[in-house]
Amino acid sequence: MISRRRLLAASVALPLAASVAGCVRHPSAPAVGTTRPLPIPPLTTGQVGADGVRRFELTARTGTTEMLPGKATPTWGYNGSVLGPALRARRGERVAFTITNNLPEATTVHWHGMRVPARCDGGPHQTIEAGGTWSPEWTVDQPAATLWYHPHPHGSTEKHVYRGLSGFFLIDDEHADGLDLPRRYGVDDIPLVIQDRRFAADGRLDETDSSTYGLLGDTIITNGISDAHLSVRTERVRLRILNGSSSRLFNLARSDDRPFDLIATDGGFLEKPLSLSRMQLSPGERAEIVLELRAGQTLTLRSLPIEPRAGLSDPAEFGFDDTFDILTLRAAPQLTPSPALPGALATITPLGAAATTRSFELQWYMINGQRMDMNRIDLTVQAGATEVWEVRNADNWPHNFHIHDVRFQVIGIDGLPPPQALSGWKDTVYTEPGRTYTLAMRFSGHTDPTYPYMYHCHLLHHEDQGMMGQFLVLGPGQQPAPMVMSGNDSGHGH
């Protein structure tokens, strides 16, 4: 143990120190050159067959994308050269997918935030070989939310996402239909994936792993391109924001420093709109915000330095000091009126007494002192059970914590109530060093003795390094019967 720690400590110090200078964009740097219109991912509602099943087709492929003006960047995408279509389905519907892998290597497609049977989860056990296909199918059974899909091949997730594979998955339901919110896709309801990238001079993505912390870019891309603007024609615009970065946190703010309204987090609507002037998002988290603009106004959505930094070894190494312009919003000279935001959005009922409490310590690419082993089931839970998970960041690094299949409530941070921005349903939460996050969740009725779900740090390099564990959801009397994988498949090399 000690020698491994020493080894890790040594490998941390040097490359991190070397990476500082390159990753800071000067806060006062003026916007250079011209902006391009924000690309809006095509919206796909699939095809509903006579059997009532909504069918979607996705093909993961290679291509080139003009991420930077005038440069051709080799990228990976679903049904296109980068990112993927925004998929849309309703609660209660049966959805089915045909996913083809036209990449030169194996991948998976995981439905982040979705309640799904474990064999449809698209985690590291549902590999799609190069040239292969995969056809998961399930019934959507959760409230309206902004989810996303992305690759999850064990040990290569960071690389696959970095090259461009990510897409939105929007869930609708009757309750959301009844809320008077901006809802015209691409007009006043805008999906926005924010990612940091680093480019070589020829426009290729720089994949040199500049730190053991993970890829940290110096250029922001939104929906796949740098320096984008959005033309706004309504008084209010709803942004469904996803932090799709490998390791970078964002602290979002308006350039005029006025507040905006947070209406939803990872798993659905807050009880009521929350007025904020800053919104922090760690990798994998989503936030739906509504911005109000004045006619003719030009506004920039920015990311400011990350504020909570107690206990971090060196915040600058993790990009915490950086400032970026994310997206320019340009309001038309005349704006269509938007209705005022509803006063109430949802009812969030506390989950109540838990059958089981478990503890998780995050440190050194490990959870509870162990790295991921595809052949080790770390825990089993009972279908339908309510549990409390106490997650502590025992490290001096930033980490976050994501759980597959469930939405959770953050019921305490070091025993105190969480800030209001964490009062809604979550599936990923940032964990500050030294703090304990108490999460309450109810597991689904999808049981499977063979295929596990994952929980992990969503800083993708950490996840790839094995900061991940596996759990089975079992029915009454059901015994675990995990698949045993052979040799090289069982874990990942160091």
Cβ–Cβ < 8 Å for 411, 440: yes
Q: Give yes or no for a contact between 418 and 258, defined as CB atoms under 8 angstroms apart.
A: no
Q: Pick from Cu ion, ligand C2O, none: which does 197 bind, CB < 5 to 8 A by kind?
A: none
If binding is defined by CB under 6 A, does position 404 make contact with ligand C2O?
yes
Q: Tell me how far, at minimum, the Cβ of 48 lies from ligand C2O, in Å.
A: 27
> The tokens of 442 are what?
């109810």
**Binding residues vs Cu ion (CB under 5 A):** 112, 399, 404, 457, 459, 462
461, interface contact from Cu ion, ligand C2O, none, CB < 5-8 Å by kind: none
- Least gap, CB of 385 to ligand C2O (angstroms): 21
Q: Taking Cα atoms as reference points, which of 372, 365, 424 lies closest to residue 393?
A: 365
Q: Is 301 or 468 the residue whose CB approaches Cu ion more closely?
A: 468
Residue whose CB is less far from Cu ion, 367 or 388: 367
Told to check if 112 binds ligand C2O by CB under 6 A, we report yes
Residue 371 touches which of Cu ion, ligand C2O, none (Cβ within 5-8 Å per kind): none
Structure tokens at 443: 């597991």
Site string for ligand C2O, 258-287 (x = CB under 6 A): --------------------------x---
Cβ-based nearer residue to ligand C2O, 229 or 404: 404
Q: How many CA atoms lie within 13 A of 446 on its CB side?
A: 22
Return the ∠ at Cα 249 (arms to 418 and 422), rounded to 5°: 20
Shortest reach from residue 284's CB to ligand C2O, in Å:
5
Q: Kindly write out the interface string for residues 144-163 of this chain, putting x where it contacts ligand C2O by CB under 6 A and - elsewhere.
A: ------x-x-----------
User: With contact defined as beta carbons under 8 Å apart, do 240 and 194 qualify?
Assistant: no
Residue number, 112 or 446, with CB nearest to ligand C2O:
112
We find the least distance from the C-beta atom of residue 266 to ligand C2O, in angstroms, to be 10
Task: Tell me how crowded residue 159 is: count the other CB atoms within 10 A of its CB.
Answer: 21
- Applying CB under 6 A, the span of 75-83, 306-314, 406-414, 453-461 interacting with ligand C2O comes to 453-461
Tell whether the torsion through CA atoms of 418, 420, 425 and 428 is positive or negative: negative
Which of Cu ion, ligand C2O, none is residue 399 near (CB under 5 to 8 Å by kind)?
Cu ion
Q: Give the C-alpha separation, 87 to 82, whole Å.
A: 15
Element (H, E) at 460: helix 460-464
Give the 3-state DSSP-derived string for 19-34, with helices as H, strands as E and coil as C.
HCHHHCCCCCCCCCCC
**Residue 407 in contact with ligand C2O, rule: CB under 6 A:** no
Stretch that binds ligand C2O, among 100-108, 134-142, 249-257, 450-458 (CB under 6 A): 450-458
Which of ligand C2O, Cu ion, none does residue 462 bind to, with CB < 5 to 8 Å depending on kind?
A: Cu ion
Give the torsion through C-alpha atoms of 203, 204, 207, 210, to 10 deg: -20
Compute the distance between CA of residue 296 and CA of residue 314 in angstroms, rounded to an integer.
42
Which of 236/404 has CB closer to ligand C2O? 404
Residue 290 binds which entry of Cu ion, ligand C2O, none, with Cβ cut-offs from 5 to 8 Å by kind? Answer: none
- CB of residue 283 to ligand C2O, shortest distance in Å: 8
With CB under 6 A, what is the number of residues at the site for ligand C2O?
10
- Nearest in space to 59 (alpha carbons), one of 138, 133, 124, 150: 133
* Pair 169, 45: CB distance under 8 Å: no
- Interaction of residue 492 with ligand C2O, rule CB under 6 A: no
The one of Cu ion, ligand C2O, none whose footprint includes residue 456, by CB under 5 to 8 A per kind, is: ligand C2O
302 binds ligand C2O per the rule CB under 6 A: no
d(CA 409, CA 347): 13
Q: Identify the residue among 54, 110, 248, 462 touching ligand C2O (CB under 6 A).
A: 110
Terminal Cα-to-Cα distance of the chain (whole angstroms): 15
Contact between 326 and ligand C2O by CB under 6 A: the answer reads no
- DSSP assignments along 336-364, one per residue: E--PPPPS-----------SEEEEEEEET
Report d(CA 431, CA 441) in Å as an integer.
Answer: 17
Q: Residue 302 binds which one of ligand C2O, Cu ion, none, with CB within 5 to 8 A depending on kind?
A: none
Task: Give the pairing type, strands 386-393 and 356-363.
Answer: parallel
How, if at all, do strands 260-265 and 268-276 pair?
antiparallel
* Part in contact with ligand C2O (CB under 6 A); list of ranges 126-134, 263-271, 350-358, 451-459: 451-459
Smallest distance, ligand C2O to C-beta of residue 166, A:
9
Binding residues (CB under 6 A) for ligand C2O: these are 110, 112, 150, 152, 284, 402, 404, 454, 456, 458
